Amino acid sequence: MSTYVLYLCCLSRVVTPIFLARAKTLNSVKIGICGLGTVGSGAVNVLGRNADEINARAGCEIVISQIGARRDNPACDLGDISVSRDIFDVAENPEIDILVELIGGTTVAKELVLKAIENGKHVVTANKALIAEFGNEIFAAATEKGVTVAYEAAVAGGIPIIKALREGLSANHIEWLAGIINGTGNFILTEMRDKGRDFADVLKEAQELGYAEADPTFDVEGIDAAHKLVILASLAFGMPLQFDSVFTEGISKVEPQDVIYAQELGYRIKHLGIASRSPENGGIALRVHPTLIPEKRLIANVDGVMNAVLVNGDAVGPTLYYGPGAGAEPTASSVIADVVDLARTLTATPEHRVPHLGFQSDKLNDFDMLPISEVETAYYLRFSALDTPGVLSKITQILSDAKISVEAVIQKEPGAGEDHVPLIILTDRVIEKSLDSAVTQIQQMDSIAGEITKIRVEALG
Ligand code: HSE
């Protein structure tokens, strides 16, 4: 012991600055926030309001050292925080430990994140498009530099689903996950169903509430959900991010009558992202599309801007994560959780930090990616059929020849002066290419008018 004390005393002049440097890292972590829109202003407000609790959890003081934003946002009070109109000033600021990227998009944001990494900063981002499309490159750059890129806010807003998959479920072999992962789309479908509101009108409200993407076609055409699904799938299965492999269909073609017929059959239409492993060959299918779900399932009752992700692990069984999927403070909640995590691990060596996709980077799998044509599911089909004898039996004959069994049929009375009637069929599970070939044959029947509506059905249980 005395030798040890003597040794420290002898070296005290040398070690003091090292201790000071270490103490500085532990006592305060400096962050720079780039982007002061909905989420950026939410992050400033929550960090200010809950500073004591956040710092107590982090074990150090989290200080917003600089903000990079083209304009201020009246939704938050910046006090004496230094603001730069050039976001790259934040990436170049040597004081900053963590750059928080909240500008969105994939061009400038990518450049900014790579610059921050090059300068040895950790990064927190809410940018799902950036991670889904360029995550492999960004994670490789971060690993090379020994820094971490954290992205909890990129998926399902305030729900800590990344952490659940990466840490909470790390004992499990995950077979599938399915989620309502676009708040805007869920808000639109809910308002259409409950209040009979017009699609465009609800979308406008979602934009005003700050839920929708800068380009709302990302929400209504399923691109935003596809970005999020890719991230969840990589964490669940341990594979590189593969945005190009997602089959994507939005909600823009869901008609009010389908919402009503689905209800008559005991289902709700939800826009789901589904990632599953084929039990036959282990291939992975990633798909985003409107889906009929039995109305008794919890996830079928997730309404408005709320998100939910159902994950089925072999050890734990089905687990459901629910919460607000968009909005200023819910998303800020996830952003700040990442900052706290990083602040806690700042002293850990890179190899002892949690890997970007949960699995060690040299252990990622190279799965076969299955096209939608190989996916097996059940289907809701709606035909506009001539109201004459024999039409229904011809349709069911075509389905039966293709070995597709029919689970339910609804036929409506023709409206006044109309000779075609809506005919709805629910099928049993079948491989999509077999269903498509039967639907093509039915489509060619003279007694069928217009395009046949096809919506996938999942029991999720
Ligand atoms: N536009 C997205 C949504 C925002 O509606 O879910 C959150 O990612």
Per-residue pLDDT of 288-333, as tens digits, reads 999 999 999 999 999 999 999 999 999 999 999 999 999 999 999 9
**What are the extents of the domains in the chain?**
3-160+329-363, 161-324, 375-457
Please check whether the domain covering 3-160+329-363 is classified as CATH 2.30.31.70. no
Atom of ligand 1 nearest to the CA of 228: 8
Q: Which residues are catalytic?
A: 228
Residues 420 and 190: their CA atoms lie apart, in Å, by: 29
Q: What is the pLDDT of residues 159-173, one digit of tens each?
A: 999 999 999 999 999
Comparing CA positions, the residue from 118, 155, 334 lying closest to residue 231 is: 155
Residues 355 and 317: their CA atoms lie apart, in Å, by: 24
Residue 101, ligand 1, Cβ within 6 A: no
| Three-class DSSP category at 386 | strand
Structure tokens at 267: 């289902």
Residue 184, ligand 1, Cβ within 6 A: yes
Comparing CA positions, the residue from 27, 1, 3 lying closest to residue 346 is: 27
| Three-class DSSP category at 33 | strand
Residue 211, ligand 1, Cβ within 6 A: yes
Measured in angstroms, how far is the CA atom of residue 246 from the centroid of ligand 1? 18
pLDDT at residue 20 in the model: 35
Classify burial at 18, counting beta carbons within 10 Å of its beta carbon; exposed 0-12, middle 13-18, buried 19 or more.
Answer: exposed
Q: Where are the alpha helices (DSSP H) in 63-122?
A: 88-92, 108-118
Task: Please check the confidence at residue 391 and state whether its pLDDT lies above 90.
Answer: yes
Residue 157, ligand 1, Cβ within 6 A: yes
Atom of ligand 1 nearest to the CA of 184: 5
Q: What is the pLDDT of residues 5-27, one digit of tens each?
A: 333 333 333 333 333 333 344 58
Measured in angstroms, how far is the CA atom of residue 183 from the centroid of ligand 1? 5
Q: Where are the alpha helices (DSSP H) in 196-222?
A: 199-208, 217-220
Contact assessment for residue 249 and residue 376, using Cβ atoms and an 8 Å cutoff: no
Contact assessment for residue 384 and residue 422, using Cβ atoms and an 8 Å cutoff: yes
- pLDDT, greater one: 198 or 407: 407
**Nearest CA, atom 4, ligand 1:** 326
User: Which class does domain 375-457 fall in?
Assistant: alpha beta
pLDDT at residue 26 in the model: 52
Residues 461 and 451: their CA atoms lie apart, in Å, by: 31
Q: Where are the alpha helices (DSSP H) in 126-170?
A: 128-145, 161-163
Residue 326, ligand 1, Cβ within 6 A: yes
- Cα dist from 363 to 141, 239, 358, whole Å: 17, 8, 10
pLDDT at residue 27 in the model: 87
Measured in angstroms, how far is the CA atom of residue 181 from the centroid of ligand 1? 8
Residue 212, ligand 1, Cβ within 6 A: yes
pLDDT at residue 70 in the model: 93
Task: Please check the confidence at residue 93 and state whether its pLDDT lies above 80.
Answer: yes
| Three-class DSSP category at 311 | strand
CA-based R_g, the chain, Å: 26
- pLDDT, greater one: 455 or 18: 455
Atom of ligand 1 nearest to the CA of 212: 1
| Three-class DSSP category at 1 | coil
Please check whether the domain covering 161-324 is classified as CATH 3.30.360.10. yes
Atom of ligand 1 nearest to the CA of 211: 5
pLDDT at residue 436 in the model: 98
Contact assessment for residue 101 and residue 123, using Cβ atoms and an 8 Å cutoff: yes
Contact assessment for residue 68 and residue 92, using Cβ atoms and an 8 Å cutoff: no
Measured in angstroms, how far is the CA atom of residue 190 from the centroid of ligand 1? 15
Measured in angstroms, how far is the CA atom of residue 213 from the centroid of ligand 1? 6
